[in-house]
C-alpha cells in the first residue's frame, strides 16, 4: 500500500514469513520489514525472547488490538503485543490498526517466531472532516474489519488505499459504507466495535432502538454471517448495561457475540505511556485531558481465563 509509511505487503510475502521460508540467495535485501516507505536496513532481525507459555489455558483470541502503528493511539509495538499474548497463552491475536497495515510485517514475524496464530485487520475511520491530530477525542466513526484469508486481505488493502487517495491529504481517508460492502464480497468479518462503532455510539446517544437500527444496517450491507456483535468490559460504569443490550440484540437476530478488550497496550504498566501519547495527539497537557482518559489501566491484553470470568454471563463470547 502506497500512502505514507504503509508498506506494500503481498500475501505471498506474508505467507513466506508465517511459514518461515527464506528468500532465495541473492534476492534484494531492502524489503526487510522496516517502517520507512522503501523499508530500511536499520531494524535487525527479530529475536524472540524466552517465554514460558501457560500449560493450561482457556481458548481465547483477542480480535481487537491496536499497536503503536495506530499513530498516537496504541502504546505497544507489534512485537510487545505478540510476546504478551504468548505469555498469557492466547490462541490467536488480531492487530487492527487505524486505516492501514503499517505494522503487519513486524507483527507476522514476531508471531511466526512464537508460533502464535494471526488475524489481519484494520479499524476504518469513517466520516473524518480532516486529520485528527489536535483533537482530544477524534471525530468520525469506526468500522472494525477482519480479513478472511488471502482474498479478504487483498480486498481490505485495496479499500484502504482507495480511501487514502480519495481523501487527498494524509490522515484523512474517505470511505463510503456501501462501497465497502461491495468491496468486501463476503471476505471480511465485521465487528460492531468500540464506543465509536456505529452500534455502540447509537446505543450511547439514542438508546437500544437506535443501536438495533445500526446493527440491522450492518447486517443488510455485509450479511448476517459476516457480522459479529462485539462485547467489551473494561470496568466502565456502563459496560455491563451496554453488553446486556448488545447481547440481547444479537440473540434476537441470531448473530454471534464475541468478547474483546479493545486493546491499546500490551500490559497494564503501559497505561501512562498511552495517556502521554493521547496528550501528544491532542496537543494538550495531561491535566487538560483528565476528563477524557480512563482512570485506571483497562485496555491491555488479558488471558482467556480472565476474559471468561469477565464475560461469564455471555456464553460463547470468549470461546468463539
CA distances from 179 to 183, 213, 230, 310 (A): 6, 19, 23, 37
Residue 168: its pLDDT value, please?
Answer: 83
Is residue 2 in a domain?
no
More confident residue, 138 or 177: 177
For residue 111, give the 3-state DSSP assignment.
helix
Triad 158, 163, 168: Cα angle to 5° = 130
Q: Which of 302, 299, 266 is nearest to 107 (CA)?
A: 266
Work out the average pLDDT over 230-236.
95
Residue 270: its pLDDT value, please?
Answer: 80
Range of the domain at 140: 56-310
φ/ψ region of 204 (left if φ > 0, alpha if ψ in -120 to 50, else beta) reads alpha
**For the segment 249-287, what is each residue's pLDDT rounded down to a tens digit?**
999 999 999 999 999 999 998 876 656 665 554 455 545
Is residue 60 in a domain?
yes
Q: Do residues 79 and 48 make contact, with C-beta atoms less than 8 angstroms apart?
A: no
User: Which of the residue ranges 34-38, 54-58, 88-92, 312-316 would you say has the lowest mean pLDDT?
Assistant: 34-38
CATH number for the domain that contains residue 275 = 3.20.20.140
**For the segment 142-193, what is each residue's pLDDT rounded down to a tens digit?**
999 999 999 999 999 999 999 999 988 887 899 999 999 999 999 999 999 9
Q: Which of 112, 107, 30 is nearest to 263 (CA)?
A: 107
What's the number of domains the chain is made of?
Answer: 1
Is residue 46 in a domain?
no
Q: Is the pLDDT of residue 48 over 50?
A: yes
Is residue 146 in a domain?
yes
**For the segment 79-93, what is each residue's pLDDT rounded down to a tens digit?**
999 999 999 999 999
Whole-angstrom distance, CA of residue 3 vs CA of residue 100: 9
Q: How confident is the model at residue 42 (pLDDT cuts 50, 70, 90)?
A: low
Q: Is the pLDDT of residue 21 over 50?
A: no
Is residue 234 in a domain?
yes
Residue with cell 510485517: 105
Size (the chain), residues: 320
For residue 224, give the 3-state DSSP assignment.
helix
Residue 174: its pLDDT value, please?
Answer: 95
Is residue 12 in a domain?
no
pTM of full prediction above 0.75 = yes
More confident residue, 135 or 106: 106
Give the number of other Cβ atoms within 10 Å of residue 48's Cβ. Answer: 16
Is residue 116 in a domain?
yes
**For the segment 113-137, what is each residue's pLDDT rounded down to a tens digit?**
999 999 999 999 999 876 655 455 6
φ/ψ region of 254 (left if φ > 0, alpha if ψ in -120 to 50, else beta) reads left
Is residue 85 in a domain?
yes
Share of residues in the chain with pLDDT > 90 (%): 65
**How far does Cα 64 stand from its chain's mean position?**
4
Residue 151: its pLDDT value, please?
Answer: 97
Amino acid at each position: 500500500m502506497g500512502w505514507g509509511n504503509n508498506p506494500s505487503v503481498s500475501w505471498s510475502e506474508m505467507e513466506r514469513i508465517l511459514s518461515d521460508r527464506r528468500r532465495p540467495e541473492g534476492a534484494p535485501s531492502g524489503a526487510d520489514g522496516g517502517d520507512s516507505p522503501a523499508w530500511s536496513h536499520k531494524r535487525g532481525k527479530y529475536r524472540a525472547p524466552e517465554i514460558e507459555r501457560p500449560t493450561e489455558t482457556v481458548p481465547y483470541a483477542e480480535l481487537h488490538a491496536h499497536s503503536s502503528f495506530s499513530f498516537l493511539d496504541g502504546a505497544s509495538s507489534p512485537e510487545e503485543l505478540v510476546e504478551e499474548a504468548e505469555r498469557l497463552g492466547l490462541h490467536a491475536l488480531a492487530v487492527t490498526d487505524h486505516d492501514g497495515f503499517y505494522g503487519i510485517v513486524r507483527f507476522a514475524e514476531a508471531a511466526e517466531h512464537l508460533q502464535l496464530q494471526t488475524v489481519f485487520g484494520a479499524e476504518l475511520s469513517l466520516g473524518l472532516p480532516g486529520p485528527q491530530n489536535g483533537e482530544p477525542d477524534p471525530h468520525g466513526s469506526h468500522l472494525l474489519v477482519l480479513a478472511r484469508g488471502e482474498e479478504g486481505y487483498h480486498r481490505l488493502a485495496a479499500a484502504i488505499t482507495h480511501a487514502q487517495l480519495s481523501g487527498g491529504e494524509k490522515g484523512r481517508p474517505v470511505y463510503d459504507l456501501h462501497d465497502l460492502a461491495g468491496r468486501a464480497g463476503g471476505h471480511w468479518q465485521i465487528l460492531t466495535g468500540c464506543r465509536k462503532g456505529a452500534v455502540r455510539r447509537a446505543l450511547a446517544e439514542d438508546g437500544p432502538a437506535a443501536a438495533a437500527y445500526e446493527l440491522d444496517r450492518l447486517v443488510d450491507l455485509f450479511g448476517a454471517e459476516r457480522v459479529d456483535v462485539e462485547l467489551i468490559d473494561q470496568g466502565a460504569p456502563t459496560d455491563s448495561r451496554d453488553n446486556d443490550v448488545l447481547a440481547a440484540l444479537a440473540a434476537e437476530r441470531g448473530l454471534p457475540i464475541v468478547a474483546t478488550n479493545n486493546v491499546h497496550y500490551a500490559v497494564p504498566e503501559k497505561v501512562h505511556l498511552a495517556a502521554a501519547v493521547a496528550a501528544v495527539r491532542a496537543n494538550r497537557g495531561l491535566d487538560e485531558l483528565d476528563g477524557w482518559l480512563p482512570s485506571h489501566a483497562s485496555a491491555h491484553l488479558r488471558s482467556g481465563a480472565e476474559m471468561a470470568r469477565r464475560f461469564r454471563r455471555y456464553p460463547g463470547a470468549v470461546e468463539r
